Amino acid sequence: MSTKKIIIKFDQVADQPCEAIRRLVGFVQAKYLIDLIDVADLNANPRSAKVGSVTEDIIDSITKTKEIFPFKTKGILLAVSTPPRELERKRFEFEFSDSVSEGILDGGHNTLAIALHILNVATEGDRSIQKIKRWSDLKDVWFRYKDQVADVRDQLDFLVPLEVLLPLNEEETTQAIFRSAILDICAARNNNVQLLADAKANQAGHYDEIKRALDPDLAKDIVWKTNETGRVPVRDIVALSWVALSMLPALEKYRVSPNQIYSSKGKCMQNFVDLMEDESVSEQVDGVYKLKDKQVLSAFKLLKDFPKLYDAIYKRFPEAYNKADGSFGRIVSVKLFKPEKYLDDKKKYLKHQPHTPFYEEAVNYNYPEGFIMPLVFGLSALIRADKEGLSWKVDPFKFLADHFDKIVENYKGVLQLSEWDPQKVGKNAMSYGIACQQFEHYLMLDMHKLAM
């Protein structure tokens, strides 16, 4: 982002240098946070703030007990990567230029609540303020009422705890230590709300190559950090990545079992983070991990196809099951899209059209993913692993078009043996073995035909 400067005046402040980091901590009148809200963002915070009971309680504390508000909140933790210019009367000029390592590390909900309170005071409760649901919604409304906010500035005299972390000086070594420490400090400060590995991974740069590899239309719908808008949990994407990553023999100590891709997405995420922080896989630069392992990179490049392949399997499975003399709609955990029957049996029928999980293609059945995860993992049989990395042995989309019905015909017995319980299907290692055997069988037939 472009360089932006603001001046903040402390009512009282302690200046605490330690090693390569300097801390300014004290109380600030809310009016001096207006400029901070103008320029700062929550990119450095692993969680995006959203409106809810937490922000409502903070606003209630400000309006009813503003005298003791600074003692009821931990306030705001701010990181700035450039030493400030010190002015008279406890004023400091801060310069923001790097949105990755600078900004609000902790206290995003406090900042959002304070901003909402200021807007309510400035607009006398304009209804547009009620439409703000997340930090990402705030800025447009905030700047729309900039003049009104300026008019009530002097009314905003309640105190807010503010802590600013800075590098001790501008030396390159000090700067590097500071940037490297920010992620760990941020994770530690957020541990009281159980900061997820997902969010920390986003801040650490572990998703960067995945973001580059994925279809941009899908990438924009993924929830990369906690409370962010989106349809697709990042854990679903990371779990899918293990279908390809499992084909890399060098990753033995990090590999997850096939059924964990379905039953333990938390384990998939933690192993993913451990893998990405292995010094042989990534190098840490200014607190962000940069992938250097070409084999792992090749797995992420294949990942682009997996959401589309998953949706193709999800869409075709019911029809293929029915072709194999099955009755998919009669399975207890399966719901059918039949609006005309919805009022007769709400447990079995759907009023609204269901869609595939990733690309939202319209389908007529909604069912648990446990039924098809072994088939999704079966795609691993189509992956070639060599010294250059991973690649498809055949076009996986054409392969499904040619063989999926037959694969399901032979796989159908897995559901019968599991008594049509999706949990049993998805958690049973045998399910994955049978699915992989079917993919391997039809791959061999294709290869045999090509050799003739």
Taking each helix axis as running N to C, give the angle between helix 265-276 and helix 234-245, from 0 to 180 degrees, rounded to the nearest 10: 70
Q: Which of 135, 170, 193 is the last residue of a domain?
A: 193
Q: What is the pLDDT of residue 8?
A: 94
**263 and 331 within one domain:** no
Q: Which of 301, 317, 335 is the last residue of a domain?
A: 301
Q: Which of 275, 301, 327 is the last residue of a domain?
A: 301
**266 and 343 within one domain:** no
Radius of gyration of the chain (CA): 27
Spell out a b/e string for 102-124, using b for 16 or more CB atoms within 10 Å of the CB, else e: bbbbbbbbbbbbbbbbbbebbbe
**433 and 355 within one domain:** yes
Those residues of the chain that have pLDDT short of 70 are 1-2, 41-48, 99-101, 183, 187, 189-197, 227, 452
**176 and 31 within one domain:** yes
Which tens digit of pLDDT belongs to each residue from 23-36?
A: 999 999 999 999 99
**188 and 217 within one domain:** no
Range of the domain at 164: 4-193
**250 and 153 within one domain:** no
**118 and 135 within one domain:** yes
Question: How many CB atoms are located within 10 Å of the residue 218 CB?
Answer: 17
> How far, in Å, CA of 209 to CA of 245, rounded?
14
**275 and 216 within one domain:** yes
**171 and 42 within one domain:** yes
Q: What is the pLDDT of residue 2?
A: 64
Enter the pTM of the model. 0.67
**318 and 227 within one domain:** no
> How far, in Å, CA of 83 to CA of 208, rounded?
29
| Max Cα distance, the chain (Å) | 87
| Six-digit token string for 24 | 């300014």
Q: What is the pLDDT of residue 236?
A: 95
**161 and 75 within one domain:** yes
